[in-house]
Amino acid sequence: MHNLLVVDDEPIVRKGIVRSLNKAALNIAEVYEAQNGQEALKIVQERDIDLILADINMPKMNGLDFAKAAKAENADVKIAMVTGYDYFDYAVSALRAGVDEYVLKPVSKSDIAAVLRKLIDSREDSSVREELSSLDAQQALQDEQSYKKLIQATLEEELQKSSFSLSVLADKVGLSTGYLSRLFKQNFNMPFRNYLLLQRINKAKILLIGSEMKIYEVCFAVGFEDPNYFSAMFKRETGYTPSGYRKHVKNK
């Protein structure tokens, strides 16, 4: 079970986020609230908080400073920042400072659920890596859920390698390609190839708006070999070219 801290100086926004949560679906035990960074940091110091959703623009201590302080208290805490387009530069700074995710205002119920799911998956993936480093692999992978978590962890680590494929993944997790293909579709609701493309495009979005990398550098960083093919796939999935997407978001 997870403990979540929601930090926002606007009570209506904060209460709205809390009311929108499906705690059972997200496996959340307790939800704490704070109206500024100072108050939130005190909660982090006193409570066992593992997930944080915080606004950037707050009095007394802004969200970015709070995030740095919270990470100093607990390096394992997962943090998502909520920001408007007017604070885009802060969002970029947040990514560079180690914030795990961010979501742009206005946020919907589905936006909140999606970003919290990313934080939870990231936290669980980290736990799986630690477990696999200390336990015998065959013992740790006795059930399908363990395989799913290992697959997710391996995808994260290998995403930038253009040579990464279903057969490479099969070798790394110790399954046959055929069995892995069926297992993958069953657990991720789409074929491996489609899922890999989706993850690469999502990673590219973050790099495009969270860094000053050139388009070809983003292309190579997310596992594409051909910048033209990367641009074509990016436009197919998002409706924008990579440069057009970057311009669109920054001009909002």
For the whole prediction, is pTM greater than 0.75? no
Give the 3-state secondary structure of residue 83. strand
pLDDT at 11: 87
Count Cβ atoms within 10 A of the Cβ of residue 135 and give its class: 0-12 exposed, 13-18 middle, 19 or more buried: exposed
**Cα(213)–Cα(145) distance, rounded to whole angstroms?**
36
Q: Report strand pairing: 51-55 vs 2-7.
A: parallel
Q: Which helix (H) or strand (E) holds 4?
A: strand 2-7
CA separation for the pair 236, 230 (Å, rounded) = 10
Burial string for 58-76 (b: 16+ CB within 10 Å, else e) reads beebbbbbbbbbbbeeeee
SS3 252: coil
What domains can you pick out in the chain, each with its CATH number?
2-122 (3.40.50.2300), 135-189 (1.10.10), 194-250 (1.10.10.60)
Q: Are 71 and 63 in contact (CB under 8 A)?
A: no
Bridge partners (DSSP) of residue 55 are 82
List pLDDT tens digits, range 26-60: 888 899 999 888 999 999 988 889 899 988 878 88
The strand pairing partners of 2, in sequence order, are: 28
pLDDT tens digits for range 99-129:
788 777 777 888 888 888 888 887 766 665 5
21 pLDDT exceeds 70?
yes
